[in-house]
Amino acid sequence: MLKRILLGLSILVIVVLFLGGFGIYYINKQQHKLSEGELIMNENITYSIPFSYSSSGHILIDVKIEGSKEAYPFILDSGASNFIFKNHSNEFDLESNGKGLGLGSTGNFFFTNIKKVDSINISGLQFKHLNFEEMDFNFNCLDNIYGLIGNGTMKHLNWQVDFENKVITVSKKLNQLSFGDDKIEIPLQINKVSNHPYASIQFSKNKGSKRVIVDLGSSGSLSLKEDDYRKDSLNFKEKKIYGRSSEGLGGQNKNADTEKIILADTLLFKYSKLSIQNFPVRVSPTALNLLGLSFFEKYKTTISWSDKKLILEPYDSVQNFIWKTRGLGMKFKKKEQKLIVKSITENSPADRVNLPLNSEILELNGVSVTGEKVLCDYRSLKAKPDSLKLKIKYNNSVKEFTITKEVIFK
């Protein structure tokens, strides 16, 4: 009997090792496929790429696909591989090239189709022999966006993003770019398989460091897995988020009522002189560690894969990362054709007026919600008023609320 048990355990170990090895081999092979691509450019000059913002707050660049005369808006995303959204992929008649395994924003895995793309053109830059993951998405206000240009393509160049002038300068060599005397250099680690760039942060010089992905595709400032900040045992201020707040690629499995926002006294970047006071951080048990767009917009930002450097040039002498909020998250549900209150931040204006979670929003600043466009038009406003008027329906009762922005941590 004992021999049978030992034999069974041995077989189980062999199977697990085989499947684990095959899984690693499969992921490595897939990531190599997604990072393939040949850059065609004059290496002695720099190229300028104008950009705009989507209503969701993502960086948009124009991309020509397969020699097309028309350019299509794609999100620039240093934290992901190349993606093409499924609702647009049929427009290009792309050839299939196997299956891919994606990692979602909440740490879950999901399968995708891989599509061959012979060439793309970005402001005169040409990339050939590419592969894009094809995926569905459920983001509001992104129906006109075709996909993501990710780190497998970005790794070939240095990318200097000037947020004030909305232009990106790219070069083959880092010394071809210009920098001011106030530049801050932060060393990066580059994942050899996925091409993700990582920086190391600390909340105190006496505490351990945490790796965070340098992610231009994340609209927030900093998100962390909850365990990674709990290990430091520091006494941070915090506010819970009721409902489901953040969204990301492949993040549809996120559990509700698990997010919170903490206020770190200090944020340090390891091996650099950068130290920031009073920095809000979004945490949840399943979050990926991401340093996002709301952080980088305070700086002219340069990311170099070849030199493994993040170079920041501050726009202001002091960077203030404390934002104003009403504590309200909204989402338009396409199937039900309803705009709902998807999240409420603890002790925020929305929380103090007892705005019901999951209630239906009938009017937004006096405009009747007849479709997703109402939400998109509101998000696209360049100067949003601090006060927001809502007419909501909940439990067959209609009520009106006015909520005004205030700083997240007073």
pLDDT tens sequence across 4-31: 433 343 444 333 344 444 344 344 445 4
Model confidence pLDDT, tens digit, residues 210-233: 999 999 999 899 999 988 877 776
Cβ-based neighbours of 304, under 8 Å, separated by 6 or more? 158, 174, 188, 310, 311
User: What are the chain's domains?
Assistant: 38-198+208-219+292-321 (2.40.70.10), 324-407 (2.30.42.10)
In the predicted model, what is the mean pLDDT of residues 367-376?
95
pLDDT (0 to 100) of residue 103: 56
Helix (H, G, I), strand (E, B) or coil at 353: coil
Distances (CA, A) of 162 to 49, 110, 159, 212, 298: 10, 34, 10, 22, 10
Model confidence pLDDT, tens digit, residues 120-141: 999 999 999 999 999 887 788 9
The confidence band for 36, taking pLDDT boundaries of 50, 70 and 90, is low
Model confidence pLDDT, tens digit, residues 159-209: 999 999 999 999 999 999 999 999 999 999 999 888 999 999 999 888 889
pLDDT (0 to 100) of residue 208: 85
Q: What is the pTM of this model?
A: 0.87
| Cα 209 to Cα 195: distance, rounded to the nearest angstrom | 21
Largest interatomic CA distance in the chain: 76
pLDDT > 60? residue 142: yes
Three-class HEC string of the chain: CHHHHHHHHHHHHHHHHHHHHHHHHHHHHHHHHHCCCEEECCCCCCEEEECEECCCCCEEEEEEECCCCCCEEEEECCCCCCEEEHHHHHHHCCCEEEEEEEECCCCCEEEEEEEEEEEEEECCEEEEEEEEEEECCCCCCCCCCCEEECHHHHCCCEEEEECCCCEEEEECCHHHCCCCCCCEEEECEECCCCCCEEEEEECCCCCCCEEEEECCCCCCCEEEEHHHHHCCCCCCEEEEEEECCCCCCCCCCCCCCCCEEEEEEEEEECCCCCEEEEEEEEEECCCCCEECHHHHCCEEEEEECCCCEEEEEECCCCCCCCCEECCEEEEEECCCCEEEEEEEECCCHHHHCCCCCCCEEEEECCEECCCHHHHHHHHCCCCCCCEEEEEEEECCEEEEEEEECEECCC
pLDDT (0 to 100) of residue 255: 46
What would the DSSP string read from start to end of 19-43?
Answer: HHHHHHHHHHHHHHHHT--EEES-T
Model confidence pLDDT, tens digit, residues 55-83: 889 999 999 999 999 999 999 999 998 99
Q: Which two three-digit tokens encode residue 174?
A: 């880092």
